[in-house]
Amino acid sequence: MIIFPKNVTLSGPQVGKPVNRVDGLAKVTGQAKYAAEFAVPDLLYGFVVLSTIARGRIVTMDLTAAKAVPGVVDILTHSHRPRTSWWTLKWKDQDAPPGSPFRPLQDEKILFSDQPIALIVARTSELARHAASLVQVTYEEQPHATDLRTHRSRARPPSSLKFGFSPPPKPRGDADEAYRTSAVQIDAEYSSPVEHHNALEMHASTVVYGDGGALTIYDKTQGVTNSHGYVARVFGLAKKKIRVLSPFVGGAFGSALRPQYQLFLAVAAALTLKRSVRVVLTRQQTFGLGHRPETLQRIALGADAGGRLQAVIHEVVGSTSRFEDYVENVANWSTLLYRCETARQSYDVVPLDIFTPLDMRAPGGALGVFAIETAIDELAHKAGIDPLEIRLRNYADRDGDNDLPFSSKELKACYAQASERFGWSRRSFEPRSMKDGHRRVGWGMATGVWEAMQMPAGAKAVLQRDGRLVVSTATADIGTGTYTVMSQIAADAFGLPLDRVTIELGDSDLPFALVEGGSWTAGSVGTAVMAVCAKLGKTLCKKASELARSPLNGVSERDLEIVDGGVQIKRDPTRRLLLSELAARYEGELEMKAMVLPHMLDQRKFARYTHSAVFAEVHVDEDFGTVRVNRMVTAVAAGRILNPKTARSQILGGMVWGVGMALSEETVTDRHFGRYMNHSLAEYHLPVHADMGDFEVLFVPEEDGIVNPIGVKGLGEIGIVGVAAAISNAVFHATGKRVRDLPITLDKVM
């Protein structure tokens, strides 16, 4: 059944309540199992051998010593692997950019450093890892290019578009002339480095080989339907013979949106050996799975003496691989955030000898907003205007790029509430004017924005014999609290207490859902859950009214409602029938499936976005240049907040990410070898508890009936957007030194 739920609304005691995570107990007691933790009889283990050059080809691969290790069962290489599809389209997944996806063990060519070139399969993981160290490979090296700055002259527009990517808007007016004649001008370049996701759970796939070649796959993925389709197409297998499960994900942040190579290798080994195989990547190996792309951004802003924008120029160059054109929405945010009649934006890519970049929390938004929000701060300082005031003077009441009204926009309320809580009115204008002992104090602020999208999603609702409701959908819970908010939605939509609802997720046999990403899951899957529960509820009311010898027999279903585990008359709750009685009578019939589609005809008339305001205080040591984020306040307008507790956690997590982006996270490449130098948590510096100051989250009330029937906008991405810029602006206010190249390390501050 396809549903366009237009008149279905959600009300009840659970949604909006700060409910504890329903999966919390399972996680803290170890009952929750991840991809590499499922017990499988007679299991073999695979360890991946990676290339040590960035470009070239394999000349020889000596496997003699590795094969001689007792316990080694087989070694897969480009010359020994199962047959796979030759058609490029078969290799594309739900998140694939334009181009030809990477094919592990395809041939002898090396396309990037740390490319998988062999899989050792052994009785234990330790044996496999030891044998891998004995593989001897000789290469024919070719000149490689991994430096974006060196090769930026090769920048070109992307070859074609990617799902979710909006090309920069067409130029409006003569931006260069408008800039030239502006009273106040800013023209600067901002850069961001390669960053890696570094989730706690390693990427892993456990492939259970069953009767008749059926495969049950436990995969670390943000979309079981994506992994399922990929395996079926690439290996030419019947979909009904594959089942992919991912009930829990130990963090992913975009790194598990696409099927990663350990899935391919584990399936290839299982099919070759007709045995169950597990492949788990090491921390070092996960650095070869994709990353936030390196970018160079030029922003030129022209304004009149009052700080009102006359020209916006935003030019972006981003890195990509040679085999796919990875693209993000980076330049578009400038004219979405600020009103300006004259603008020019561009986005180009530079193909390099690297693995294809990958969506990383707030892809494009975290980068583009950092640049424009830093540039706006520079413009404010040059014009002698308070940074908050200049944003209000250029406030966009409409999406100027598409000439659309916003479905809702409470950004001004975000500014007001966050600035009041932060104490912004006490900020002195001049840099280096605030101190705390030997530390300079800086206050900075920035705006955040992210898309509010709804995608097609399916769900199934079943009333069990004991009156419990089981709702299932293939979507994932990547740590965001999906199990919990879906339980709340189902409980309220069906009229049951929370403890009478069970949510099943992360199984490709369940109703279809896209990958969990882009902050669209709550609005998309939540709408499907709400709709299918409401439909099942109506069916139950109808059956209750038709049931012979029932206290509700003959009562119109419109006069009935489900409350606390029973069907009752709205105006006479004493006339009531327990759901368990209904379930016992209609066993096997009380089930409903639905595929919910968004109302695109209505939604396309509006610009749909989440907004935030971020205020940060930093302390900069005058002697050493070290920066500490002492406190931050973020106010978010994200429509309806389903669960304030999990929502706050999402924003806090994004703020922590923003601290890392601003001050420490950077994957460094040795340009001579084209290889990552700091591919471990000892050298890739993530922020830790000791780095955190006092962070506060405010949720600004916002109603939006356009984005989806529930009125939620999603919170996974918005928490990081704007944070790096707010910190950067605070560092300038503390020191008088503008750092435009992330991360802001002490050598750049001193």
Q: Cα(73)–Cα(69) distance, rounded to whole angstroms? A: 9
- The answer, yes or no, to whether residue 3 has pLDDT greater than 90, is no
- The answer, yes or no, to whether residue 11 has pLDDT greater than 80, is no
Of 158-167, 172-181, 575-584, which one has max mean pLDDT? 172-181
In this structure, what token pair is assigned to residue 748?
A: 């750049």
Q: What is the pLDDT of residue 194?
A: 98
Q: What is the pLDDT of residue 36?
A: 98
DSSP track, 164-193: T--PPPPPBS-HHHHHHT-SEEEEEEEEE-
Domain with CATH 3.30.365.10 in the chain: 2-32+455-597, 400-453+600-750
To the nearest whole number, what is the mean pLDDT of the chain? 96
Q: What is the pLDDT of residue 738?
A: 97
Model-wide pTM > 0.85: yes
- Taking residues 548-556, report their average pLDDT: 89
Residue type, 5: P
From the number of C-beta atoms within 10 Å of its C-beta (0-12, 13-18, 19+), residue 167 rates as: middle
Q: What is the pLDDT of residue 271?
A: 98
- The answer, yes or no, to whether residue 7 has pLDDT greater than 60, is no
- The angle subtended at Cα 403 by Cα 401 and Cα 404, nearest 5°, is 110
Q: Give percent above pLDDT 90 in the chain.
A: 93
Q: Cα(570)–Cα(17) distance, rounded to whole angstroms? A: 24
Coil, strand or helix: which one is 390?
Answer: helix
Q: What is the pLDDT of residue 321?
A: 98
Look at 81-85, 587-591, 707-711 and tell me which has the smallest mean pLDDT: 587-591
- The answer, yes or no, to whether residue 1 has pLDDT greater than 80, is no
Q: Cα(215)–Cα(243) distance, rounded to whole angstroms? A: 6
DSSP track, 285-304: HHTTS--BPPEEEEEEEEE-
Give the CA distances from residue 170 to residues 226, 241, 308, 331, in Å, rounded to whole numbers and listed in that order. 33, 48, 21, 12
Q: What is the pLDDT of residue 172?
A: 95
Specify the DSSP element, H or E, that contains 451: strand 439-451
In this structure, what token pair is assigned to residue 49?
A: 């051998």
- The angle subtended at Cα 667 by Cα 662 and Cα 673, nearest 5°, is 150
Which residues on adjacent β-strands are paired with residue 269?
A: none
Question: 584 falls in which pLDDT band (50, 70, 90)?
Answer: confident
Q: Cα(709)–Cα(706) distance, rounded to whole angstroms? A: 7
Alpha helices in 183-337 (DSSP H): 224-235, 261-273, 283-286, 333-337
Q: Cα(267)–Cα(272) distance, rounded to whole angstroms? A: 8
Whose tokens are 């120029």? That residue is 313
Rg (alpha carbons) of the chain, rounded to whole number: 27
- Taking residues 367-386, report their average pLDDT: 98
- pLDDT, one tens digit per residue, over 451-462 is 999 999 999 999
- The answer, yes or no, to whether residue 5 has pLDDT greater than 80, is no
Which residues on adjacent β-strands are paired with residue 301?
A: 186, 312
Give the other-Cβ count within 10 Å of 60's Cβ. 9
- pLDDT, one tens digit per residue, over 247-273 is 999 999 999 999 999 999 999 999 999
Active-site residue, from 201, 328, 378, 717: 717
Give the other-Cβ count within 10 Å of 74's Cβ. 17
Question: 534 falls in which pLDDT band (50, 70, 90)?
Answer: very high
Cβ neighbours of residue 567 under 8 Å, at least 6 residues apart? 540, 541, 544, 552, 560, 561, 576, 577, 579, 582
Q: Give percent above pLDDT 70 in the chain.
A: 98
| Short-list 508, 560, 444, 424, CA closest to 217 | 508
- Taking residues 63-73, report their average pLDDT: 98
- The answer, yes or no, to whether residue 576 has pLDDT greater than 70, is yes
Query: 246 with 506: CB under 8 angstroms?
Result: yes
Say if domain 2-32+455-597 classifies as CATH 3.40.630.30: no
Quick check: is 717 catalytic? yes
- The answer, yes or no, to whether residue 162 has pLDDT greater than 70, is no
- pLDDT, one tens digit per residue, over 69-96 is 999 999 999 999 999 999 999 999 999 9
- The answer, yes or no, to whether residue 9 has pLDDT greater than 70, is no
By DSSP bridging, strand 204-209 and strand 215-219 are: antiparallel
Query: 683 with 657: CB under 8 angstroms?
Result: no
Which residues on adjacent β-strands are paired with residue 241?
A: none
Look at 135-149, 428-442, 549-563 and tell me which has the smallest mean pLDDT: 549-563
- The answer, yes or no, to whether residue 643 has pLDDT greater than 80, is yes
- pLDDT, one tens digit per residue, over 168-201 is 999 999 999 999 999 999 999 999 999 999 999 9
Residue type, 74: D
- Taking residues 3-15, report their average pLDDT: 71
The span from the first CA to the last CA of the chain, in angstroms, equals: 63
**CATH for the 400-453+600-750 domain, from 3.10.50.40, 3.30.365.10, 3.40.190.10, 3.40.50.970:** 3.30.365.10
Look at 370-384, 567-581, 583-597 and tell me which has the smallest mean pLDDT: 583-597
Question: 8 falls in which pLDDT band (50, 70, 90)?
Answer: low
In this structure, what token pair is assigned to residue 733?
A: 């206010």
Give the other-Cβ count within 10 Å of 51's Cβ. 21
Give the other-Cβ count within 10 Å of 279's Cβ. 32
